[in-house]
Chains A and B, each alone.
Chain A
C-alpha cells in the first residue's frame, strides 16, 4: 500500500468535497472579513494542528468502543442464530461500522477547517460551523473576563481553550462553542499569549464595559478647564483683588 498515494487521493477527494460545499452549499472557505478600523496588526488563524489531533484521538476512542460493541453483537448473533444469519448480516453490519466513521472523520476535518479566529487590536471575530455558519464579533472594550481551560488530553496535545466573556448571563458553563455573551477560541496552542493580548486591551479600558462612555475618563484627566479658562479666571481674580484693594484704600 502506497501511503503517499492514498494521502494524495484523500486530499483530492477532500478538496473536491470542499468545492461542492463552496459552490452548492455556499460554505465560506476564506477567513472571515476583518472588522474595519484596525491598525494593521490583525491576523486570522485556525485552531492549532494539535487541536485536530486531539479531536481525532477522541474520535478514535469513541469509534473503537462503538465498533467493539457492534462486533460483540455480531458474535452473539453468530453463536445464537447461526452462521447463515451472521453471514447475511455481515455486509450491512460492516456498512454500519464503517460509513458513519468515514462521515464523522470528514466532519472533523471540515469542522477544523471552518473554525476561524480573527484578532485585531480592537476586536475579535470568531467563526465556526459548516451547515450553520456562525460569526461572533466582540470588542475588547466589552470583555469582562478571560479564562483559559485545559483538560489533561488537551495538555498532552499542547492546546487550550480561551474563553472570553462579556457582560450578561445566559451562557452555560459548557466551555465549548461560542454561545451568547461568550467567545471561545477553542484549541489554540498559544493560549497564554492570547490571554495576555486580550487582557492588556481590557486593562487599558477604564470603563465597566456596560455601554459607558469610553472617553469620559480622558476628559476628566484633561480637566474640564483649558488654558483659556484659567487665563480668564486669573483675570477675574486680579480684578476682584484690585477692587478689594481700592475698597480698603478708601476706608
Chain B
C-alpha cells in the first residue's frame, strides 16, 4: 500500500481533475515530522496544520492551481504546457506513509520548484497525468485533442466564407449578364 510504485498505472489512470484536497495522511506526515522537532513541536506543527487545513488544488484541462494559507494566503497557477521538469521526491517517512512530494518547475528563474504538490498517495500516477500533458511527451506527429477539435471548424469557416464570396460574385455576374 505504501509504495507508490506498486500502483498499477495502466489499469486505472488517475483523473487528477477530481483532486481538490490533500489526503488526510498528509496530516499524519506533518505530525510525525513535527514530533521530530521535540520541544519546538507547536511552532513546527501549527503552520503545517493550517497549511493542511487550507490547502486546495484545482486541476483543469489546461493547468493546475494550488492555494493555501490562513493569514498569508498564497496561490500558484501554472499551465501543463509550460512545465519544464517534474521532480518526484520521496523521503523515508513519506515512503512509509505512501506519500511523495511532486515538484513542478517552469522556466522561471527560481531554483526551487514553483509548485510542490503534497499529500497525494498516487503521486506516480499524478506525475504520469502531468507528464502526458507537458510539451514533448506526445511527440511531434501528434496534435493534442483540444487543438485537433478546434482546427477544422476554423478552416471550415474560412472555406464557407470563400464559397459565399464566390456565390455573391456569381450572382452579380448573372445579374449583369441578364440586365440590359
Contacts and interface: CB of A to CB of B under 8 A. Distances in A.
Contacts of A142: 83-85, 134-136
B109 A232 contact: no
B169 A232 contact: no
Contacts of B5: 28, 30, 33
B111 to A, nearest CB: 2
Nearest to B97: A26
A140 B84 contact: no
Interface residues of B, number: 56
B135 A141 contact: yes
A210 B151 CA distance: 23
Given A243-B173, A243-B176, A139 B111 contact: no
A179 B107 CA distance: 14
18 contacts: A25-B95, A26-B3, A30-B5, A33-B9, A35-B128, A36-B132, A121-B139, A122-B139, A133-B90, A134-B89, A140-B136, A166-B105, A169-B109, A172-B111, A215-B147, A225-B158, A232-B163, A239-B170
Given A204-B140, A247-B176, 10 more contacts: A37-B132, A168-B84, A169-B111, A181-B85, A213-B81, A214-B140, A229-B162, A232-B162, A232-B166, A246-B176
Interface of A: 25-28, 30, 33, 35-37, 39, 121-123, 131-142, 166-172, 179-181, 183, 204-205, 207, 209-211, 213-215, 218-219, 224-226, 228-229, 232-233, 235-236, 239-240, 242-243, 246-247
8 smallest beta-carbon distances between A and B, as pairs: A170-B111, A141-B136, A139-B136, A211-B82, A167-B107, A232-B162, A26-B95, A239-B169
